């Protein structure tokens, strides 16, 4: 059953956030992006760095570069010491008549998991593999179920968790 998005209680997070969003299926991804930005703003986070890539398959390489840069001492010094608290990844993959979408979805999932484990930065996976446009409309365009909002809430919560774990 599809869960409604609940309001977050996390306020004024430390650190910075980045969002990697695909341009493919732009109607849906743009709605996820707007919802994620709105939720971060509502929580008092600074403006997130936005990186747009052609499609879902290209999301991991941009996320990996962000994570590498964030973990380098030179990058932290150049950014004034603010650390990257989380990377939010947004995309929509619609199944077609072949297994291509499933291959893309699996590759993206595996890559995003690897990035967060290697770099110790939460990578929020909201690259949706959906059966049809009806599912996309509910999960991306409906404010009560928008997974962009949920992705931002997860990023905020994981930022706090990592702050407690790492100090």
Tokens linked to 40: 């971060």
The reply to whether 100 belongs to the active site is yes
Q: Does a structural domain hold residue 11?
A: no
CA distance 81 to 79: 5
What confidence score (pLDDT) does residue 7 get? 65
Residue 80 scores a pLDDT above 60: no
Q: Does a structural domain hold residue 10?
A: no
Domain that holds residue 124: 16-166
CA distance 15 to 143: 27
CA distance 50 to 37: 9
Contact at 8 Å (CB) between 149 and 88? Answer: no
Q: Does a structural domain hold residue 76?
A: yes
Q: Does a structural domain hold residue 9?
A: no
Report residue 71: phi and psi, to 5°.
Answer: -90, 0
H/E stretch holding 18 reads: strand 16-22
pLDDT single digits (tens) 43-76:
999 899 999 999 999 999 999 999 999 887 665 5
- State the pTM of this model: 0.90
Q: Which residues of 10-46 are buried (b: 16+ CB within 10 A; e: fewer)?
A: beebebbbbbbbbebbeebbbbbbebbbebbeebebe
What confidence score (pLDDT) does residue 82 get? 65
Q: Does a structural domain hold residue 139?
A: yes
CA distance 4 to 96: 27
| CATH value at residue 56 | 3.40.50.960
Enumerate the β-bridge partners of residue 16: 84
CA distance 167 to 162: 8
pLDDT band at 78 (very low <50, low <70, confident <90, very high): low
Catalytic-labelled residue, pool 100, 119, 125, 145: 100
Number of domains in the chain: 1
pLDDT single digits (tens) 82-116:
689 999 999 999 998 889 999 999 999 999 999 99
pLDDT single digits (tens) 133-154:
999 999 999 999 999 999 999 9
- Residue the block writes with tokens 């890539």: 53
Q: Does a structural domain hold residue 3?
A: no
| Pairing label, strands 84-94, 16-22 | parallel
């Amino acid at each position: 059953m599809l869960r409604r998005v609940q309001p977050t209680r996390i306020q004024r997070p430390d650190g910075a956030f980045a969002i990697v969003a695909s341009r493919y299926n732009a109607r849906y991804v743009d709605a996820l992006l707007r919802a994620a930005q709105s939720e971060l703003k509502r929580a008092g986070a600074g403006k997130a760095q936005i990186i747009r890539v052609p499609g879902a398959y290209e999301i991991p390489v941009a996320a990996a570069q962000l994570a590498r840069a964030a973990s380098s001492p030179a990058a932290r010094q150049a950014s004034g010491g603010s650390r990257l608290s989380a990377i939010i990844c947004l995309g929509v993959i619609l199944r077609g008549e072949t297994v291509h979408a499933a291959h893309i979805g699996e590759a993206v999932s595996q890559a995003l998991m690897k990035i967060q484990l290697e770099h110790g930065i939460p990578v929020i996976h909201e690259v949706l593999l959906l059966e049809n446009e009806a599912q996309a409309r509910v999960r991306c365009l409906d404010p009560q179920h928008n997974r962009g909002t949920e992705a931002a809430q997860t990023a905020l919560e994981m930022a706090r968790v990592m702050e407690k774990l790492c100090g």
